[in-house]
Amino acid sequence: MANPLNPARRKHKLVKAWMHEHVNDPYVQEAQRRGYRSRAAFKLIELADRDRLLRPGMTVVDLGAAPGSWSQVLRERVGPGGRIVAVDVLPMDPIAGVAFVQTDFRTDEGLAAVEQALAGAPVDLVVSDMAPNLSGIDPVDQARSVHLGELALEFATGHVRPDGDLLVKVFQGTGLPELQRAIGARFAKVHVRKPKSSRDRSREIFVVGKGFRG
């Protein structure tokens, strides 16, 4: 008789359940049909439509871009007259019309590389889908998530033009109200969103800052 507490068996069952859910996920299926690299594309589409974040000709910085589904949506929406700079410490396969910088933008060298890719263009929008490497310890993961949100806000503060916007992912929990207030101090309006394409069990939410005060 199998041991019901066997951790290897339990892990196998969890992986199998996740695979079944993933394969049958309508957003996964639609992403595959439309050629998006992940289902996350639909989160950006929904958020951009709701808060009117994207228009042709914009300059957008995509933080935590890999594998590239948000950059694919950005490329579609801003058109050939726009500029997209995608940034990640991880590698990312090329996307036509997207300048990818594999770097840590928190370092002086990384920030200089991002600014070089921008070539002096004023930034209309900063988007961040950055997420921490999960430790499984909720307070640690929460703190790391909020810190990444703070880094995105810091980058936006230094690069977004007046009246520009910010979209940042963060986990619900401790530190989120403080991050919302920090964004509200720099942007005219702040909205907290949970897209339909975000799984119900996920703690992720998205904070939108509209109208950078400069």
CA atoms within 13 A on the CB side of 185: 10
Q: Which residue has the tokens 């594309």?
A: 41
How far from the centroid of its chain's Cα atoms is residue 138's Cα? 20
Burial class (CB in 10 A: 0-12, 13-18, 19+), 17: exposed
Q: Is there a contact between 89 and 104 (Cβ–Cβ < 8 Å)?
A: yes
Cβ(99)–Cβ(111) below 8 Å: no
Q: List active site positions.
A: 169
Under DSSP, the state recorded for 102 is: E
Partners of 190 in the β-ladder: 209
Identify the sign of the CA torsion 41, 46, 49, 53.
Answer: negative
Tell me if 102 sits within 8 A of 91, measured CB to CB.
yes
Q: How many CA atoms lie within 13 A of 132 on its CB side?
A: 22
